[in-house]
A and B are shown apart, each in its own frame.
Chain A
Amino acid sequence: MSFIKLTDVDLIYGSADPKEKSAQTLAVSSANLSIAHGEFLALVGPSGCGKSTLLKLVAGLARPSKGSVTVDGQEVTQPLKTVGMAFQNATLLPWRNIRDNVMLPLEIVEPYRSRQRQEREANRERAETLLAKVGLTGFADRMPWQLSGGMQQRAQLCRALIHEPSILLLDEPFAALDTFTREDLWSVLQELWSFRKCTIILVTHELREAVYLAQTVHVMSARPGRILKTSTIDIPRPRTLESTFQPDFVEIVHDLRHHISLGKQN
């Protein structure tokens, strides 16, 4: 049974008026995607192919122009409250310290919202426990600008997870980081997934990242984005940096790369 299901989804940006065809962008075309509960899925594809748009469709932040998006059997018609999101730029609130940034969702999402006064202490502890999980012990009282880019991304992951969402949507979260920091964060994310077991969709254009982290990798074509190829990654977990140098890993990356360049040709 699939948890998230996209059926023949088109998404057109711009005017709905057919007379203004030139102002329209077909961002996603006939997308079919099926994601199981607790699956870790990666979407790779060239820039502008509609990856972020697919995430918005799943989150209910955009409505499909055609086709349907369902989560847990329910048609998605408004923003889901059971998702956590993280982006390339950390979007932490600069006037809040790291702890209060991480606790932001608890001030908005029910049932935490109505209990926030009574559970202030417990919530602070939750935030700090989660920060410790990503290696940010002792940084709760710092302001965002006092943290490096990699640390801000760790904090952003905590903010995305604090309200225990069942779906985590990650839009190129590590793209702005240097290679070493990025590879550190791969293992942080793998670790988080192994104990939270939420469903994760990771958008990336880094193939090694996709293969390292995901169970399933989908390759998208250039715009309008279609899914060209789906690979299941069977490399045992926990995967380490060492795994990325093994022949089977290299071969999968190679194969995916081949499909992307095929996609570019037509």
Chain B
Amino acid sequence: MTSKSVQRLAPWIATVGFVILWWLCVVIFDIKNYILPTPLEAVEAMYKFRYPLFVHGLATLMTTLIGFVIAVGIGMVLGILVGSSRLLYSALYPLLVGFNSVPKAALVPVLVIWFGAGTVPAVITAFMLSFFPVVANVATAFATIEPELLEVMRSLGASRRDMTFKIGIPRSLPFFFASLKIAITLAFVGSVIAEIVAGNSGIGNVMLVASSNFNVPLVFAALIVVGIMGIGMYAIFDFFERRMTSWSIRGGSGMQQMGGG
């Protein structure tokens, strides 16, 4: 076996190992299934409740993606602004960091007061959790352009627009894709939290109802669904990252990032 095929199998092996560990814990410590179900019970619950899980899973996916897309749009523009102006950087960065430190779950009840229960608070929570990594990464890419390169460009009479489109944006692509992979998983966290606190649909709501009925296997089934959606989206962005920024991976195998196994 080559080391490459080992690397390809590694995430699957790790996942299987994790499931076995979970199962062993339940058996050895004799945990009741209304505390922690076995993996099999969770999968059974997934099958039994496949219809509501599918419908609500889709709702969560939509909510997450809407919040995520807004976050990427705003995050990119803000990142470019903050990264290319020293003044804006020092003015806005502390504010952004402070905002990012606020526990967003605590804001959900406020959002409900403002917008009512439902999808809107979930979209906003997904947005709030996922936009910071995009801003931070894009801003870093813009702020760390080599000073010599800036001098070359300025001495050619390049406009700010030239700098942004010919240097800044292409240079920030690897940072941008890395941030998308982080942001999408955070967006799931955001929408599910909001659904648990205030939703009347979505996976988070399924979990809320299930746990109030002590149907813990269904709670775990719902968690697995969220996890799978997260991995799926991560893999999609990973794929595009490899296509579009192959120059930053340098053709070798050494610097490739691991996929989300």
Contact = CB atoms under 8 A, between A and B. Distances in A.
Interface in B154-169: 154-158, 162, 166-167
A145 B170 CA distance: 16
A53 to B, nearest CB: 12
B30 interface: no
B247 A79 contact: no
Chain B interface size range:
20 to 34
A158 B186 CA distance: 46
A81 B157 contact: yes
Nearest to A60: B155
B247 A94 contact: yes
A84 B158 CA distance: 13
Interface stretch (B144-152, B177-185, B196-204): B144-152
B146 A163 contact: no
Contacts of B153: 108
Contacts of B248: 94-95
Contacts of B251: 145
A93 interface: yes
A190 to B, nearest CB: 23
Nearest to A107: B166
A60 B155 CA distance: 8
B247 A95 contact: yes
Given A94-B247, A95-B247, A104-B166, A56 B151 contact: yes
Given A93-B170, A94-B247, A94-B248, A109 B149 contact: no
B202 to A, nearest CB: 39
Nearest to A87: B148
Contact of B148 (A89, A104, A163): A89
Contact of A61 (B154, B166, B250): B154
Contact of B156 (A89, A109, A169): A109
A85 interface: yes
Contacts of A171: 148
A143 B247 contact: yes
A4 interface: no
A80 interface: yes
Nearest to B162: A108
A89 B152 CA distance: 12
Contacts of A87: 148, 151-152
Nearest to A171: B148
A105 B162 CA distance: 11
Interface in A99-144: 104-105, 107-110, 143
A84 B173 CA distance: 28
A34 interface: no
B171 interface: yes
Interface in A7-61: 56, 59-61
Given A104-B166, A107-B166, A143-B247, A91 B156 contact: no
A112 to B, nearest CB: 10
A56 B150 CA distance: 12
B155 A145 contact: no
B142 to A, nearest CB: 15
Interface in B213-261: 245, 247-248, 250-251
A100 to B, nearest CB: 10
A89 B155 contact: no
A220 interface: no
A83 interface: yes
Interface string A157-170: 00100010000010
28 contacts: A56-B151, A59-B151, A60-B155, A79-B155, A81-B156, A83-B155, A85-B148, A85-B151, A85-B152, A87-B148, A87-B152, A93-B149, A93-B170, A93-B171, A94-B248, A95-B171, A95-B247, A95-B248, A104-B156, A107-B166, A108-B153, A108-B157, A108-B162, A108-B166, A110-B157, A143-B247, A145-B247, A145-B251
Interface of B: 146, 148-149, 151-158, 162, 166-167, 170-171, 173, 245, 247-248, 250-251
Given A94-B247, A163-B156, 12 more contacts: A56-B151, A61-B151, A79-B155, A79-B157, A81-B156, A83-B155, A87-B151, A91-B152, A94-B248, A108-B166, A109-B157, A171-B148
Interface of A: 56, 59-61, 79-81, 83-85, 87, 89, 91, 93-95, 104-105, 107-110, 143, 145, 159, 163, 169, 171
